């Protein structure tokens, strides 16, 4: 068994292993700039951390790639007493941290299942908390529907009278919808090149799908992009044109994506947002609010000044 096969088996078995931690995803979001840090015994991997390496303006970074909710630490699956598992994981985390090369900037977001960041704290890192919403059980789709807020259900019922949802691999339509949303919000800089690489990769792996909404006049009303693994589906990106943004297309698209996800995986992760309006929208779909941790360490005074000035 070669190293990649060994890593793939470890990722598949790990509770923190997701599509985001696979070699295929890492190559799509950061071609040639990724690697895995590991602590190993003779016959097994004890702990693993996928990282992205880059250099910008002379500053070496280990940063999060786009469209990737979490990387961070992956532990093996295992049973035992809580104190024994915690001790083992703490010790292997400290050993892994000692292997992290010295970077001017380090940022990793941990899987939502991880809450113990003490080894990073002891090693001089800082932590902030982010949030996502997760529908944890897709098995009973009728119950999922009942957990939606009444206004979301009302918008979906209204939209079904005039909008049809198709599952089409139409990247240009998705791009058009996202660009329309960005233009409306007067924002720039969406990374379509990386999203297209993800789209191509997940098509090859049969783990990604575009949901496209059109009205009776065949006008595009919205589109979203979904990826999944055996544990969960993840909302990656979406948008709608300004002229039809009140059509109810986005709630209907998400409902169709959730129903589809129930046929291929166990959970639905809205991928969260710290933006108030987006958080309020996702909250309406009845998922559980789940915190996850962002770990940072900055050894550059210039980056520290930039974050203090612009990231408050």
In 3D, which of 270, 201, 194 has the Cα closest to residue 232?
270
Q: Mean pLDDT lowest for which of 14-28, 50-64, 107-121, 171-185?
A: 50-64
Round to whole Å and give the CA distance between 294 and 291. 10
pLDDT at 238: 95
Question: Who wins on pLDDT, 217 or 312?
Answer: 217
Residues 186 and 224 in one domain: yes
pLDDT digits (tens, 9 = 90+) for 26-75: 999 999 999 999 999 888 899 999 999 888 777 788 999 999 999 999 99
Residues 163 and 245 in one domain: yes
Note the pTM of the prediction, 2 decimals. Answer: 0.92
Residues 154 and 282 in one domain: yes
Round to whole Å and give the CA distance between 107 and 92. 19
Residues 249 and 191 in one domain: yes
The pLDDT of 95-101, averaged and rounded, is 91
User: Which tokens sit at 181?
Assistant: 């949303």
pLDDT confidence band for 202 (50 / 70 / 90): very high
Round to whole Å and give the CA distance between 227 and 209. 6
pLDDT confidence band for 156 (50 / 70 / 90): very high
List the domain range (segments joined by +) for residue 190.
Answer: 137-286
Number of H helices, E strands in the chain: 11, 11
Residues 282 and 297 in one domain: no
Residues 125 and 19 in one domain: yes
Is the pLDDT assigned to residue 304 strictly greater than 80?
Answer: no
Is the pLDDT assigned to residue 310 strictly greater than 90?
Answer: no
Is the pLDDT assigned to residue 252 strictly greater than 60?
Answer: yes
Is the pLDDT assigned to residue 11 strictly greater than 90?
Answer: yes
Residues 147 and 120 in one domain: no
Phi/psi class of residue 67: alpha, beta or left (left: φ > 0; alpha: ψ in -120 to 50)?
left
Residues 197 and 271 in one domain: yes
In 3D, which of 303, 309, 296, 307 has the Cα closest to residue 59?
303
Question: Who wins on pLDDT, 100 or 227?
Answer: 227
Round to whole Å and give the CA distance between 153 and 283. 13
Residues 117 and 156 in one domain: no
pLDDT at 298: 86
Residues 144 and 275 in one domain: yes
Q: What is the CATH number of the domain that holds 282?
A: 3.40.630.30
In 3D, which of 214, 200, 206, 210 has the Cα closest to residue 235?
210
Residues 143 and 241 in one domain: yes
Residues 9 and 89 in one domain: yes
Round to whole Å and give the CA distance between 160 and 180. 22
Please state the domain count of the chain: 2
Mapped onto helix, strand or coil, the DSSP state of residue 160 is: helix
pLDDT at 32: 95
Round to whole Å and give the CA distance between 233 and 222. 19
The pLDDT of 252-271, averaged and rounded, is 97
Round to whole Å and give the CA distance between 43 and 52. 26
User: Which tokens sit at 35?
Assistant: 């690697």
Which long-range contacts (C-beta less than 8 Å, at least 24 apart) are formed by 168-175?
Answer: 168/210, 168/212, 169/199, 169/203, 169/209, 169/210, 170/210, 170/212, 170/223, 171/196, 171/199, 171/210, 173/210, 173/212, 173/220, 173/223, 174/199, 174/210, 174/212, 174/223, 174/224, 174/225, 174/237, 174/238
pLDDT at 150: 96
pLDDT at 5: 85
Round to whole Å and give the CA distance between 106 and 37. 14
Q: What is the mean pLDDT of the chain?
A: 91
pLDDT at 264: 97
């Amino acid at each position: 068994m070669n190293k990649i096969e060994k890593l793939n088996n470890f990722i598949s078995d790990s509770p923190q292993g997701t599509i985001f931690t696979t070699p295929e995803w890492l190559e799509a979001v950061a071609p040639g700039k990724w690697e895995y840090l590991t602590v190993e015994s003779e016959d097994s991997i004890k702990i693993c951390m996928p990282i992205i390496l880059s250099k910008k303006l002379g500053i070496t970074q280990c940063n999060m790639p786009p469209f990737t909710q979490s990387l961070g630490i992956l532990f093996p699956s295992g049973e035992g007493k809580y104190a024994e598992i915690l001790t083992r994981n703490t010790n292997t985390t400290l050993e892994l941290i000692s292997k992290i090369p010295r970077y001017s900037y380090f940022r990793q977001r941990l899987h939502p299942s991880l809450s113990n960041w003490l080894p990073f704290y002891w090693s001089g890192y800082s932590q902030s908390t982010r949030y996502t919403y997760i529908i944890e059980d897709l098995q009973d789709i009728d119950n999922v529907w009942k957990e939606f807020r009444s206004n979301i259900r009302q918008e979906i019922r209204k939209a079904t009278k005039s909008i049809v949802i198709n599952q089409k691999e139409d990247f240009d339509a998705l791009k058009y919808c996202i660009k329309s949303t960005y233009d409306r919000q007067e924002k720039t800089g969406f990374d379509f090149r990386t999203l297209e690489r993800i789209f191509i990769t997940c098509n090859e792996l049969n783990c990604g799908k575009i949901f496209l909404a059109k009205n009776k006049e065949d006008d595009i009303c919205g589109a979203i992009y979904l990826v999944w693994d055996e544990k969960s589906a993840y909302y990656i990106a979406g948008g709608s044109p300004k002229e039809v943004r009140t059509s109810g297309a986005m709630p209907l698209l998400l409902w169709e994506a959730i129903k589809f996800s129930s046929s291929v995986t166990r959970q639905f992760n809205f991928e969260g947002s710290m933006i108030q309006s987006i958080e309020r929208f996702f909250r309406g779909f009845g998922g559980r609010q789940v915190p996850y941790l962002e770990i940072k360490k900055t050894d550059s005074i210039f980056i520290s000044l930039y974050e203090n000035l612009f990231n408050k």
